[in-house]
Structure 1
Amino acid sequence: MKPSNENELAQMVAEAGGPLSIRGGGTRGMAGSGEVMSVAGLSGITLYEPGALTMVAQAGTPVADIEKALAKENQRLAFEPMDHRGLLGTKGKPTIGGVFAANVSGPRRIAVGAARDFLLGVRFVDGRGNVIKNGGRVMKNVTGYDLVKLMAGSFGTLGVLSEVSLKVLPRPETEATLVLHGLSDVNAVQALSQAMGSPFEVTGAAHDPTTTRTMLRIEGFEASVAYRIDRLRDLLSAHDALTEVLAAEATNKLWANLRDVNAFQQAQGDVWRVSCKPSDAPSLASRAEAEAHYFDWAGGLIWLRMAPESDLRERLGKFGGHATLVRGTAETCQRLGVFQPEAAGVARIAAGLRARFDPKSLFNAGLMDAAA
């Protein structure tokens, strides 16, 4: 099923006799059971106002088209969504609807917020075939359900996005990365935390124990970037680490590689992402006994490459966060579940929302189940 417009989408959903597997570009490898419904046919930028920093696009619009249009106006998607194709070996093109449905947020999340924070409005089709609209082209208070935030990160289980309104930001003049060499995981997280607490507006904070590099990105006007890099190096001098500064081109490549988890793309094994308190990251990484790992979000996000079929959640035990299986065999995903099991209260709320918006359980059935 591949509707070409919102009316066709609504009619197909209304007439559906069984589960529907909702797809955008099919690049994330996450979809429930049922007949495939692709929204890739709903494509195109319907409104772009560079002066207002807003854009409206149909859900199936490729992210590359969005970024191309923004680049002409020296603007960008500030939350730098990950491209999963290299890690998962998938084809197709990432879509803007898929980005928001999965709340895909990259390294800059620590500075500007997640994808959901840039979503201003949505149009979607619910499980009855009704077209629902919420939000608009400006931020404002709403009453009742905040459907904009609700749809972001729902992975197509509450409704099928047909159009999104989003906020964009200007592209900075330049960027640079301060790299500290030789720090342990514990010392690296301390340095990252210190940098994030500084007034120097760090927009990327990561640590790779394989190369023992601790990386801090600064963006803005050229003179400001140079000044803040120097001050940041002075601030962190107590760590007694060798330092280097990467210029704009090298910085852009470095953070694109971290965003897309390039280090794990050609290596065998399952790939997990763990969201946690940054201070917990070193101990969690130690308990995981991973074949490789690195920290993003100043330690708030851990990427881990594990031996196949490893139960990472069992190794970690209870902690303040969640572990998501991003890459694994179908059997492993079924046995362990892709997502962290929800607390009983949260599960009841989620089930109630799905019953409200998708009473026939059409959308991405089984996708959010903890384990089969």
Structure 2
Amino acid sequence: MTHSALTPTTAEEMRDVLAYAAAEELPVEILGQGSKRALGRPVQAAHVLDLSRLSGVEVYEPAELVLTAKAGTPMAEIEALVAGAGQELSFEPMDFGPLLGEAAGKGTLGGLIGANLAGPRRIKAGAARDHILGLDAVSGRGEIFRSGGRVVKNVTGYDLPRALTGAYGTLAVSTLITLKVNPRAETSASLALNGLSDAAAVAAMCAAMGSSAEVSAAAHLPEGICQRLGVAGEDRPGPVTLLRLEGFGPSVEYRFANLARRLAEFGPAERIGDAASKALWQAVRDVIPFAGSRNPVWRVSVPPASGAELMQRLRSMMPVEGFYDWSGGLLWLQMLDGEVHDVPLRAAIADHGGGHATLIRASAATRAAVPVFQPQPAPLAALSRRLKAQFDPKGILNPGRMVADA
């Protein structure tokens, strides 16, 4: 076997390739279009398993709200198809391309599942794993698995979609994925509150999420961030807090008025119309303010109530800028001095209610030296090792992607 790319076109070909790789103990790096290749630790493998030819939508039944596609299918193709039928993927998967220096629109369905992607609507709709109806995959043993059907003895009892989603291709290689889709909202609007401090913004977002307004996204952009979203007419220099409402036109108008009254103590509410609102949320989703730079970027998940205090502490410790999504539960941070600051960052997170920090953008050398993903507690790490031993005992799938020597 040479070091050229392996390009299976069917699940059976994938099975044969991985069975051979396991027998020969040949590690492989799994790629779709490579849009997230710089996400995670550098893979320690000379061979590439290229899924680009394992592509195509097999079944799309808009009336049944179901879509089945092969893992190498571009997300741009899937999203265009469902949009044409007035539908969407409710979890609003982000596109990592611009943030990682790649072109937009290169991500694939398999990559989405591997990284468990979700955008601003996650606070209402959940993540990718919550929308998987079925999944076929090939393990590092060279065995085909089908969720919801017959599985081999080694993995009986596992919820395959949940085990594989977010595993970054280290347990098995997805081949066919079935997702639920939903009707797209008729219209949307965003309520903007200007000039709030981080703490006041988090309080406003939490109040909005606790209201009857059915807010589908809540973000706070500190001073200077909104200007870099690149949305015409929305280059606000000061802090802005955004709350998205979606649905039928009259419903959106009614809920907007009620929410504006509910949040009156935080200042006057400004309405952002459908087109500008969609553009703003896409830019927030794809972390556009930090695209085009090489500075390290972190994705930090924390309890919303502790996010503002954490950000204040980090600003006192290091040159950092950031903004909030998921009603304050998700912080995107950019280190302005080019250093990753992993140790003080994770220590500060532990001191402020706990959470998870993932290094999203850094050089390959840095990602090889620094724990990219939040180190797991010992019991959870032991469970991860057992899963790896069951699915990929020879360690041939994306070795080192998540943890060194695994």
Cα deviation for residue 371 of structure 1 reads 9.6
Match of 1:4 in 2: 9
Q: Percent identity, aligned pairs only?
A: 44
Cα deviation for residue 368 of structure 1 reads 1.1
Q: Which runs of 5+ in 2 are unaligned?
A: 1-5, 150-155, 224-237
SS in 1 for 2:216: strand
Seen in structure 2, the aligned counterparts of structure 1 residues 79 and 313 have a Cα distance that, compared at 3 Å, is farther
SS in 2 for 1:85: coil
How far, CA to CA, are the matches of 1:365 and 1:100 in structure 2? 18
How far, CA to CA, are the matches of 1:77 and 1:200 in structure 2? 21
How far, CA to CA, are the matches of 1:106 and 1:202 in structure 2? 14
SS in 1 for 2:147: strand
Indicate yes or no: 2:180 matched with 1:167: yes
Report Cα offsets for 1:221-246 as digits up to 9, x if no partner: 0000011111111000012x243110
Alignment-mate amino acid for residue 300 of structure 1: G
SS in 2 for 1:4: coil
Q: Which moved more, 1:86-95 or 1:21-30?
A: 86-95
Q: Paired residue for 1:216, among 243, 250, 260?
A: 243
Match of 2:63 in 1: 51
How far, CA to CA, are the matches of 1:268 and 1:355 in structure 2? 36
Q: How does 1:41-190 map to 2 (within 5 A)?
A: 41-91=53-103, 93-135=106-148, 144-190=157-203
How far, CA to CA, are the matches of 2:186 and 2:176 in structure 1? 31
Do the aligned residues in 2 keep the contact of 1:32 with 1:367 (CA within 8 Å)? yes
Seen in structure 2, the aligned counterparts of structure 1 residues 371 and 217 have a Cα distance that, compared at 3 Å, is farther
SS in 2 for 1:37: strand
Match of 1:139 in 2: none
Cα deviation for residue 124 of structure 1 reads 0.4
Indicate yes or no: 2:377 matched with 1:348: no
Q: Which moved more, 1:347-356 or 1:18-27?
A: 18-27
Alignment-mate amino acid for residue 11 of structure 1: D
How far, CA to CA, are the matches of 2:264 and 2:242 in structure 1? 14
Report Cα offsets for 1:33-89 as digits up to 9, x if no partner: 211111111101111111110111000000011111101210011111111111111
Q: Paired residue for 2:271, among 245, 263, 277?
A: 245
Indicate yes or no: 2:349 matched with 1:337: no
Cα deviation for residue 268 of structure 1 reads 4.1
Alignment-mate amino acid for residue 274 of structure 1: V
Q: How does 1:205-284 map to 2 (within 5 A)?
A: 205-210=218-223, 211-239=238-266, 241-284=267-310
TM-score normalised over the length of structure 2: 0.87
SS in 1 for 2:119: coil
Seen in structure 2, the aligned counterparts of structure 1 residues 295 and 212 have a Cα distance that, compared at 3 Å, is same
How far, CA to CA, are the matches of 2:386 and 2:263 in structure 1? 49
TM-score normalised over the length of structure 1: 0.95
SS in 2 for 1:87: coil
Match of 2:153 in 1: none
Cα deviation for residue 283 of structure 1 reads 1.5
Cα deviation for residue 309 of structure 1 reads 2.2
Cα deviation for residue 148 of structure 1 reads 1.3
Alignment-mate amino acid for residue 193 of structure 1: C
Cα deviation for residue 336 of structure 1 reads 1.3
Following TM superposition, the consecutive aligned residue runs of length 4 or more in structure 1 with deviations greater than 3 angstroms are none
Match of 1:22 in 2: 30
Q: Which runs of 5+ in 1 are unaligned?
A: 137-142
Cα deviation for residue 313 of structure 1 reads 4.2
Seen in structure 2, the aligned counterparts of structure 1 residues 371 and 230 have a Cα distance that, compared at 3 Å, is farther
Seen in structure 2, the aligned counterparts of structure 1 residues 313 and 298 have a Cα distance that, compared at 3 Å, is farther
How far, CA to CA, are the matches of 1:80 and 1:33 in structure 2? 31
Do the aligned residues in 2 keep the contact of 1:125 with 1:160 (CA within 8 Å)? yes
How far, CA to CA, are the matches of 2:320 and 2:161 in structure 1? 38
Match of 2:232 in 1: none
